[in-house]
Structure 1
Amino acid sequence: MERPFTRTQPALLAAALVLLVAGCTSDQTGALPPVAAVVPPEAPRTTGRDRTATDADHAKLVASFGGEYRAPAALRLVSDVTDRLVKATERPDETYAVTLLDSPVVNAFALPSGRLYVTRGLLALADDTSEMAAVLAHEIAHVTLRHATARTEMALRSELVSKVVADVLNDPATGALLQDQSRFVLARFSRTQEFEADQAGVRTLARAGYDPFGAARFLTALNRTMSLRVGAGLASEPDMLATHPSTPERITQVTQAARRIGAPGLGVDDRNRYLAAVDGIAYGDNPADGLIRGRRFIHPRLGVAFEAPDGFALDNTARAVLGTTPDGHRRLLFDAVETNPGQGLEEVLKATWNDAIETGSIENRMVNGFPAVAAVSKGKDWFFRLAAVRVGTNTFRMIMAAKGAADPEPAFGRWLASVAVVTSEEARSLRPLRLQVVTAVPGDTAEGLSRRMAVADRALERFQVLNGLDRGVGVRPGQPYKLVVE
């Protein structure tokens, strides 16, 4: 069921497209030797070597990431860097078409067809040209090493084997076991591919004349960004089947690869050109897909807004607004649900909630003039407060969970009572945050510049991450730095 908070639909990314940048955040730092990821030659061939993406596929993928982002200077820089990197690979005759995506997530991926995609969220996080080039070199390596085809082939082969055992040999139990085991094989295969792409990417980076240590700097910034989310209680727990190795593990690998090439200072970072290219690009959520301003969420297209209770940090995801307290003991979810004509709110609540609703807890209410139904559900480890609210023609679901037996009222009641219509004046006044590059002057400090950041919390840490500054390191007069401004 579509949740129209943003246009991102992660399900569109099939196995051939799983070439993501972010890794999980588990604390693993051991070095693993890179291993070539190869499908055994005796495996039955289930796909062709190259899988081209049609224009329709491209359009769907771009739409799933918020559409194409128009930033001529940034696109020109990414395209120039891509051309330079390709010439330094083992396949210098290949060509790539670059598309910038209007998404705040930090992501980049390349398709076997030669299409390369970079989000504006990634451009905002990188601090110089060599860092951005490191990501591009990694994604290009996936293509030159034919990783997508190999992974898809292995996935289809595993599915074929388990189906044959289950259906043809009439052994469903063994077929299910083989399918479960194949998930672990594919996860390890994917992580091996990531290490291999990291190693090849660093070598390409150096051959193209960029600083090979840019890969480690970017992954460090990514890891620090994930840490900020953990501190706010928003990061999910690491998935043992994640296709990417842990970010600290990758940092160790790419740092060792760069050291094998030479000492720090080799190659260029081209920071000034990079910052000039990203100056003014949008930062964070697109207003059309909903904006978070502190504890307030505003969605002008759906015409609804609310304010989270004290202590909750909010995250606007593709399908819902999620919130949590720093200790994780209280969580909330706000999403849009599709309803059938004439379907009542009580029916909506029951149809969209898997667990039992407490007998006698269903209550009809009016919330700021909107009809609503609230209820209670108790799980083994969580106490839930639920509501369905109809605002105009849209129906929204609100869920607050408290760990243990503690009832999340009255916080839930305050949250429910905050639901309001977004006025046309408020919708027109919403503007995306953007990056502004400023030059430090004598007397400027990291603390002082961070106070100019239009962020809800931890402004100093966010300023340091965006500008590649270690904690305690000051700014230098005459050097450019990124700020997030309205």
Structure 2
Amino acid sequence: MALCALATLLGACVADQTEATVRPAVVRVPAEAPRTTGRERVADADHLKLVASFGGEARAPNVTRMLTEVTDRLVKASDRPDQTYVVTLLDSPVVNAFALPNGRLYATRGLVALASDTSEVAAVLAHEMAHVTLSHATARSELELRSALVSRVVVDVLNDPDTGAQLQHQSRFALARFSREQELEADATGVRTLAKAGYDPFAAGRFLTALNRSTGLKAGSATEPDMLATHPGTAERITQVTRAARRIGAPGIGTDDRASYLAAVDGLAYGDNPRDGAVRGHRFIHPGLGIAFEVPEGFTLENTRSAVLGTIPDGSRRLLFDQIDAKEGQPLDAVLKASWNDAFDPAGFETREVAGHPTAFALSRGKDWTFRLAAIRIGDSTYRMIMAAKGAADPDPAFRRWTATLVAVSPDEVVLRPLRLQVVQATSTSAEDLARRMMVPDRALDRFLVLNGLERGAQLVPGRSYKIVAE
């Protein structure tokens, strides 16, 4: 966890599937296929940085094998069957997928968990493969370079900074429009490839719908780079991919290969990796940092790479917990001032011990929100806790109760087992029966339905397999 801006705040029990990290799955292509030359070292460095930023490679050989087989099937049906692809499963709960121009494909375990069948996974991979075959990254880079060059010539050569700034502004809109066009083009190409490979072409629309529903269950303003951030215009895209699928045929064509998908994801790690801290109910525990805290009733927590976020259902109260930099011997009130851009209420400063830890409190009133802040020193680390209330309401009573729960814990005190997907059979038609077995902090029924691609009110089929989250 690192320093977070104000915008951040507002804006399964199965044994490990393997003991070794899974290597990327390489899809074999004919010997005559063109090979990448020149920029291998740069590409490898980009790959390593990208994998590290998403938690490393996931240890799930069954899922990696599924991704390999799906990609192999798609590449044979694509416009470029000679293209080489390397698939990597990322150890991140964030729902995302992307491709590099050299044919490296990436999917997070969060994305694989959200899908309902193999065809939905294939839809995402087909979309990312389309970006590669259509050379979208290269085209975008050329447009960015050309736009920057034109504005620089206007500023430096013609000595007209105002026009240069205007051109840069216009270029941003042009790039946004270009990105939208690329997404829609990749969607159309992906759906065609999906159908040609024998998969259900309507899977693309189903997955995008699940993505929207999943995002609605998040605790606060998203700070992770999920697919809604990197793939804009989701509502429009759902309409477009559904229309593209209907041009191919009526619903029911192609295979969804649900059985193979469920066999692959059974036991897949779900949610936070305990090494990065984990949410268990209303409690957050981070064995590595040696800390834990509990939030007041009503708050839903989300652990992101930069902070722990929380909100109540109507969004009128939010909280943030992160670790901040502090110089040796620096007073904690000065630490708060250095980490906050808005003005403080001078009367709101207070310094005292909380649960034996030096703590500084502060109050900041904005136009639309009131903030209570605290900097707490535990050992050599300094943590920041912020609670915000909409309007002039003071969140102080709940904030004080929250700060009092922050404690130091030893590894012996905390044994966190990762949550995992577990495939179980329904014994009744009631979704609530299986939802009660979900190890999630809140909204168990909603999360069960989204996880299985079911609508509210849907009845289960006794004997049919479904995914739940278990410890």
For the 8 Å contact 1:51–1:112, the answer to whether it is kept is no
Q: TM-score, normalised by structure 2?
A: 0.88
Counterpart residue type for residue 453 of structure 1: M
Which residue of the other structure, out of 408, 411, 435, is the alignment partner of 1:450?
435
Once the two structures are superposed, the pairs formed by residues 159-238 of structure 1 within 5 Å of their partners are 159-229=148-218, 234=221
Q: Given residue 450 of structure 1, which amino acid in structure 2 is its aligned partner?
A: A
- Which amino acid counterpart does residue 250 of structure 2 have in structure 1? A
Structure 2: segments with no counterpart, 5+ residues: 5-35
C-alpha distance in 1 between matches for 2:426 and 2:211: 24
Residue-by-residue CA offset, 1:138-169 (whole Å, 9 max, x unaligned): 00000000011111221222222223323333
Structure 1: distance between partners of 2:2 and 2:407 = 22
Q: Does residue 305 of the first structure (1) align with residue 292 of the second (2)?
A: yes
Q: C-alpha displacement at 1:420, in angstroms?
A: 0.7
Q: Tell me, what secondary structure is at the counterpart of 1:426?
A: coil
The answer (yes or no) to whether the contact 2:2–2:322 under 8 Å persists in 1 is no
| Separation in structure 2 between the aligned mates of residue 269 and residue 316 of structure 1, nearest angstrom | 32
For residue 474 of structure 1, the aligned residue among 422, 447, 459 is: 459
CA distance in structure 2 between the partners assigned to 1:233 and 1:70 by the alignment: 29
Is 1:396 the counterpart of 2:383? The answer is yes
2:31 match: none
Return the TM-score normalized by structure 1. 0.85
1:363-409 deviation line (CA, Å, top 9, x unaligned): 11111111111111222222221111111111111111222222211
Aligned to 2:368: 381
The yes-or-no answer on 1:116 pairing with 2:105 is yes
In the alignment, which residue of structure 2 is the partner of 1:408?
Answer: 395
Structure 2 counterparts to residues 409-424 of structure 1, below 5 A: 409-424=396-411
Which residue in 2 is equivalent to 1:9? Answer: none
Secondary structure at the aligned position of 1:228 is classed as: coil
Matched, 1:483 2:454: no
1:438 and 2:438 matched = no
> What do residues 301-323 of structure 1 show as CA deviations (whole Å, max 9, x unaligned)?
11111112222222212211112
Which shows bigger deviation, 165-174 or 458-467?
165-174
**Identity of aligned pairs, percent?**
69
Q: CA deviation at 1:280?
A: 0.2
Q: Is contact 1:62-1:101 (8 Å) kept? A: yes
8 Å Cα contact 2:350/2:360 also seen in 1: yes
String of CA shifts for 1:162-190, please: whole Å, max 9, x gaps.
23323333322222222222222111111
Structure 1 Cα separation of the partners of residues 250 and 93 of structure 2 = 34
Letter in 2 for 1:175: G
User: More deviation in 197-206 or 215-224?
Assistant: 215-224
Change in CA separation of 1:167 and 1:388 when aligned onto 2, cut-off 3 Å: farther
Quick one: distance in 1 between partners of 2:275 and 2:360? 28
Contact 2:191 2:244 in 1 (8 A): yes
Which runs of structure 2 are paired with 1:89-104 in the superposition (5 Å)? 89-104=78-93
Q: 1:220 Cα deviation (Å)?
A: 1.5
- Partner Cα distance (2:229, 2:458) in 1: 34
Going from structure 1 to structure 2, the CA distance change for 1:86 and 1:51 (only over 3 Å counts) comes to farther
Number of matched residues? 435
1:253 aligns with 2:216: no
Distance (whole Å) between structure 1 residues aligned to residue 126 and residue 264 of structure 2 = 19
Match of 2:268 in 1: 281
Q: Give 1:322's aligned residue.
A: 309
Contact 2:114 2:451 in 1 (8 A): yes
Amino acid at match of 1:82: T
One-letter amino acid of the structure 2 residue matched with residue 465 of structure 1: V
Whether the 8 Å contact between 2:300 and 2:441 is mirrored in structure 1 is: no
Measured after TM superposition, the shift of residue 2 of structure 1 is 4.3
Q: Deviations over 1:337-374 (max 9, x none)?
A: 12223322122111111122222432111111111111
- What is the identity, as a one-letter code, of the residue corresponding to 1:349? L
SS in 2 for 1:93: coil
Quote the offset at 1:50 in angstroms: 9.6
CA displacement at 1:121 relative to structure 2? 0.3
Unaligned runs of 5+ in 1: 5-47
Which amino acid is 1:372 matched to?
Answer: T
* Distance across 2 between alignment mates of 1:242 and 1:464: 23
CA distance in 2, matches of 1:381, 1:227: 23
| Cα distance between partner residues in 2 of 1:280 and 1:361 | 49
Q: Distance in 2 between matches of 1:287 and 1:68?
A: 15
- 2: distance between equivalents of 1:440 and 1:401? 42
In 2, distance between residues paired with 1:348 and 1:167?
Answer: 42
Distance across 1 between alignment mates of 2:304 and 2:180: 25
Which one-letter code corresponds to 1:90 in the other structure? D
CA drift at 1:51: 6.7
Aligned CA RMSD, in angstroms, stands at 2.1
**What is the rounded CA distance, in whole Å, between the counterparts of 2:274 and 2:91 in structure 1?**
11
Structure 1 equivalent of residue 135 of structure 2: 146
Could you tell me how far 1:445 is from its partner in structure 2?
2.2
Q: Is the 8 A contact 1:375 1:385 kept in 2?
A: yes
Q: Does structure 2 retain, via aligned residues, the 8 Å contact 1:234–1:315?
A: no
- Structure 1: which 4+ aligned runs deviate by more than 6 Å? 48-51
1:276 aligned partner, one-letter code: A
